[in-house]
Chain A
Amino acid sequence: MEDCILIKNINKSFPLQDKELTILHDITFSIRQGEFFCIFGPSGCGKTTLLRIIAGLETASSGEIIISQTPKDRPVNSMVFQEQSVFPWMTVLDNVSYGLRMRGIKKAARNKLAAHYIDMIGLTKFTNAYPNQLSGGMKQRVSVARALCNDPEILLMDEPFGALDEQNRLILQQELLKIWENLHKTTVFITHSIDECLCLGDRVMIMTAHPGTIKTIINIDLPRPRDIATIRTTIGYNELYQKVWLSLKDEVQRRTDS
């Protein structure tokens, strides 16, 4: 399959006091069309920064990023932000349909589409509620629905399920899996959980910190369609888990040694 996102020698530094602090160092990799690509790494290694660069919300200090868009009247990317990003002044419905509204889609049509995703995240009762009536996890689900509803070419998700309880996490993982296996939408997914990488991803990129570099990229060749409930008993799951864990342990060891 052809590459959808091509990232070449990306460097990023932020000014810290009077010095420049390198956050990302010489990042080169590519993401294929229709791939579910996971990024995994310790806190502060620059995952969010990398995703923001891909989203065009941040510019790299050097390097090149090429996104090939199939010519469609679709937005290039939609992002699920790591922190609370649901507009407090809009109802759940208006939040979820926000992207469609920005694209000039008529109210009736966008509300119908939004209702579908609101149902998916289990918040139908809260359709007309404002975010201050929702819990943190509910807001995060709204944020996920907002990105999905926009139907972008590339889905960028920054630890979207990190703040959810186990039950909701499983439900949403299953839903995302279903949607993705139907549409094969190119997805970049940041997570703190090895299990989540293995459940959802095609490949996982493991990063190291200070500065953020690519440690390795591991293929997750577990069969599809996958099922969240049974994937942990699939042959190969344990070996993969160990593989990811070992390359991570390496890193931890290296840092405590030095």
Chain B
Amino acid sequence: MTKQAKQKLIIRTLSVLSPLTLLILWELLARLHAIDVRLLSSPSMIVKTLIPLLLSGDLLYNTWISVQRVLWGFIAGSIPGILLGIAMGLSPFIRSAVEPMINATYPIPKLALMPLILLIFGIGETSKIFTIAIGVFYLVVINTMAGVLNIDKIYLDVAKNFRASRTNFYLTVALPGALPMIFAGLKLGMGMALILIVAAELSAAKAGVGWMIWRAYDMFDIEQMFVALITLSVLGYLFSLVLDLVERWVLPWKQTR
């Protein structure tokens, strides 16, 4: 085995071994009553709760509800974010008109808007989707604008020299040039969406992974809470996996080296 291959093997083993060790330690401490299982549970107890939840379809149903909310919110936030971000990046007029508002409202925690959103949209799906959309929107719009502003000026000159029409300019220079930053914004937005879904399902929801957490809290069902938390982390992992795949597909010129 070469030195490099050896190193790779060690790295791979480590990345599997270390979480495994942690799980075993957790289980051990729980069995030895070194930790309070009523609060911290144990891996075996969590699995025991997970299996019936999985088999009954309860977990999948709640996950699906949350996934839908996250996806719709993500789409509703990112598409206007990309469009406005590009417009702001390209036009100093639009930028100076909109940027102060964005800068002024960006620091407001999106959670603080929840009551207002509930009052405006009621307790239906719209309010949850809207909360997520707003969180995603800010991250995407700011990153997209920065992406457009960071496009090397020489490419604008090339487009001008080759008489690119407005539409062509958007499609061949502004959008592809800003795409790496847009993706950075989308990834941050996805993280934000997962944070917001739990909060959004706190109030006035009857299903969803976030709702499961709050229900578990009400019933003091720690195992179910852990199952929901694990589901969230799996969701987060899957979403970022999908985004990475899409990025690799849309930005082939970024990774070919």
Contact = CB atoms under 8 A, between A and B. Distances in A.
Interface string B179-204: 10000000000000000000000000
B44 to A, nearest CB: 50
Given A75-B163, A79-B161, A89-B177, A102 B256 contact: no
Chain A CB within 10 A, most for which of B155, B163, B177: B163
Given A75-B163, A132-B253, A85 B158 contact: yes
A190 to B, nearest CB: 15
Q: Give the one of B165, B172, B179, B253 with max A CB within 10 A.
A: B253
Interface string B149-175: 000001101101111110010001100
A131 B155 contact: no
Given A57-B157, A84-B154, A98-B172, A89 B253 contact: yes
A103 B164 CA distance: 8
Interface in B107-160: 154-155, 157-158, 160
A78 B161 contact: yes
A81 B157 contact: yes
B236 to A, nearest CB: 29
A20 to B, nearest CB: 22
Interface string A86-100: 011110000000110
Contact of B253 (A52, A77, A88, A103): A88
Contacts of B173: 87
Nearest to A87: B155
Given A57-B157, A81-B157, A87 B172 contact: yes
B161 A57 contact: yes
B257 to A, nearest CB: 5
A84 B152 CA distance: 10
B155 A130 contact: no
B148 to A, nearest CB: 14
A78 B162 contact: yes
A89 B164 contact: no
Contacts of B160: 57
Interface residues of A, number: 26
A128 B214 CA distance: 53
A83 interface: yes
A102 B164 contact: yes
Given A98-B172, A133-B256, A85 B155 contact: yes
Contacts of B251: 89
Contacts of A101: 168, 172
B176 interface: yes
B252 interface: yes
Given A89-B176, A98-B172, A102-B168, A130 B162 contact: no
A194 interface: no
A98 B155 CA distance: 12
A47 to B, nearest CB: 16
B252 A102 contact: no
Contacts of A52: 157
A83 to B, nearest CB: 6
Contact of A85 (B154, B176, B177, B253): B154
A218 interface: no
Nearest to B177: A89
Contacts of A98: 158, 162, 172
17 contacts: A75-B162, A79-B157, A81-B154, A85-B155, A85-B157, A87-B158, A87-B173, A87-B176, A89-B176, A89-B177, A89-B251, A89-B253, A98-B172, A102-B162, A130-B256, A131-B253, A132-B257
Interface of B: 154-155, 157-158, 160-165, 168, 172-173, 176-177, 179, 251-253, 256-257
Sorted from nearest, which 4 A-B pairs have the closest CB atoms? A89-B176, A130-B253, A99-B162, A85-B154
